[in-house]
Structures are given as structure tokens and as C-alpha cells.
Structure 1
């Protein structure tokens, strides 16, 4: 049980870390190359510190103990991370363009007036919260409510986001933005994590070796898949044979019981006749 708990925590960390990295790199690569814009260095450092603080508490999380021995599924892990990372990247671009085009928060550089760089605050809060909440999902293969996290784990995750929210609302390290907008950004991140949790569960549900062998049909995988199908057919035949034997055994026992009952009744009738 201890080894399986350790494995689940390691797997949770790997899935969360790869997902965050894919999201972080893809979004900033595009906005830097296309719009020559990025968050200030101190905000990027702060995001890294808060996110790493969250990953540390995975060590005390309530891990879900699997019923069977675990093994690494690297293809599944990488595919899941890329899908979740792409979904987070799409949400980041939605925040970026909506607050730019609709609210007028232009992507300005460090030379612009401090109070006019509110897009930095919005994107900092979003990038800090959206991947952060996803850690509640990556810790399980099922839905996030099936196994609740430990109190320390939940307290640290929520606490880091409260710190980011207050910093954006009251300013200091980043320009102030209206409290309503900041709270909406945080709520969107939380709701989006629930949506991604459903996506994760569906991927796990439909993932199988047959699926990977179909998408990446290497010679070894085709041979292994063929052996598995043959073994499955043989196993089904064995179970059918066992079921047939059980039916015969039950029928034999019933007939034997009826014969025995008839013999007893006949013996009783003979004794009564005497």
C-alpha cells in the first residue's frame, strides 16, 4: 500500500508538471514571437515559486491506492499532458485576446506607464490559477471528488491563489485591476479545471493498448495485440467450458436429489404399507 501510494503521488506530480510546462511554453512562445510581449521577470519567478510550493505538498496528499500493481504508461502520460496543456493554452489565449480587444488592456512593454499594463495582472492571475487548480484533477485517474485531498494539500493550493488574487486586486508587484474582474478570472480557472477533469476521465476511460497499437502500429505492438486477442479468445472459451461444467454439475445434483427424495418416499410408503 505504501509503494502504491508513492507511485500515485509520483504519477500525479509528473502529469501536473508536464501539463504545466506544455501550457507555459506554448503560450509564451507564441505571444513573445507574435506580439513581443511577456510577463515581467518577477511575476514569472513568483508563478514558479507558488507552483513549486503546490507540488511539494503532493507528498502529503491522500493518494488513491490502486487495486492492482501499477506500472508506468509513458504514452498515456505524455498524451494526457499534451491534451490538458493544449486546453490550458486555449484558455490563456482566450483571456489574452478578450481582455485586450474587449477591455482595452493592450499588451504593452515595460516602458509603458505602470498603471496601463493591467494585462500583466490579468494574465499573471490566470496563469497562476488555471494550471494550479488542475492539480486537483491530475492527482486521480477518476473524477476529482472520488478521493478528496488532504487538508494541508487543499489549504496550500487555495492559499496560494488567495495570495495571487489579493496581490492583483491591491497592486504592489503588479498593476491593480478591478476586484470583479480578478474574481471572475479565478472562477473561470476553477470551472475550467472541472471541465478538464471530465476530459481526463474520458481519455483514461477509452485508453487501451488496442488504441495505441492502432495509432502507432509498430511490428512489436501488432504482434503483442494479436497475442492478447488470441489469449482473450482462449480465456473466454475456458470460462464458457467452466460454465457448462457448472450447469451439468447443478443438473446432476438436482437429478440426484430428486432420485434420493423419490427413494426415501418409496421406502416410507413401503414401511407404512407394512
Structure 2
């Protein structure tokens, strides 16, 4: 375990230096939610009537979760880039833990995403969003956001390692943009057709978004929704832990097996 932590810390430092020298993908994934907040909040906000909830207060938690879900794209692109450019082959020749390389990448992504959420929250506060559920519940909301980001990052790392090329990973990563659209991140699901509502409410993003809104005190929990949304904190924890438990071991195994 100490070797994994030592080697993982070294890989973490490498990825943080990489972000500092080539921040384009991080800047893009962190600024787009702010653009969406300004666009949806001011362009669509006046047109969306939501009983008991101001739309911008409803939107900010959804965009925070959408930012967390971007871990799929950043994890996939970074892992594919290192894999297909021979960086991981060089790591495999070194006397270091096989788990350290994906672990270091995941840790670096988690740190940068945690910092990257701050500007979105500040813009949300400037637009009228408030944390109304108390300090402890807010800490729980941030914890869920980071847990979900960790889970999606490991999913992305796994997909990046199995991708056939950087270009394929980039195209597939861009396609993940649609996932928040098929959830309650931007609009409630109760007005959707039955089949689409069911799909949206079983989307992990919907459970995490509802949990974050509930903990921040921004919207009530819908009682007539599917189980993950009707029990959002439990649903968010279950989805995040399942994704993490499946993707992390598979990503480490894939990394260790690729060089054989």
C-alpha cells in the first residue's frame, strides 16, 4: 500500500504539472458550465415557471453535477493520450506499482475539478443562488459531487485504456455531453414522456443532482419518481460506489495487462 501511495503521488505530480503547462481541456470543461449557467439562467430562466423554485437556484446544482460527470471525458482523453503516445509503456518499464498510474491520474483530476467548481459556484452566487440547507448538509453535497467525479473519472480512464485511438476517445468523450441532457440536471423530468422520464430518472446524474439540490436546500425531493430520485442521497451513493467499484479495478487490470 505504501508503494502504491508513493508511486501514485509521483504520478499525481506529473499530471498536475501537465495541467499547468497544457490547461486547455481543463479550462474548456470548467468554463462551459459557466457559459451554460449564464445562457440558460438569463435566456431560458424567465420562460421556465417552476412552482416553489427559482430556476437559477434549480440550475446551479445541476451544472455542478454535469461538471462532475465530465470526469468521463477528461479521464478518457487523458488515459487514451498517454496510452497511444507511449507514455504508459515507459511507466511499465519502471519499478512502480501498476495501480499507481491510473490512481495518480484520478487523484489529479479530482483535485483540479474540485478547484474548478469554485468559479461556477461564485457565478451562481452572483446570479442569486444560495446554499439554504445548512453547513453540514452543504459539506455532504460537496462530498457527493467529489465522489461522483471520482467515479466518472475512473469510468473515463477505463474507456480511454480500451479505446483504439486518441481520435476515437475524443469522439466518444464528446458524445458524453448528451448524458446531462437525459437527466433532470437542466429541467424537471415530470413533464417528459413516460419512457423518457424513466430513462432520465435512472440516469445516475439525476440521482446525484436531486441529492445535491436536496442537501443545498434548493428544491424538494419528488415523491413520485423512480427509486434513485425519490431516495436521492442513497441513490447517489449507490450509483457512485457501483461505478467506482466496477471501473477502478477493471482500469487497473487493463493498464497492467496492456503491456504484456
Indicate whether the TM-score tops 0.5.
no
> RCO higher in 1 or 2 (8 Å CA, sep ≥ 6)?
2
Of structures 1 and 2, the larger Rg is shown by 1
TM-score by length of 2: 0.32
TM-score by length of 1: 0.31
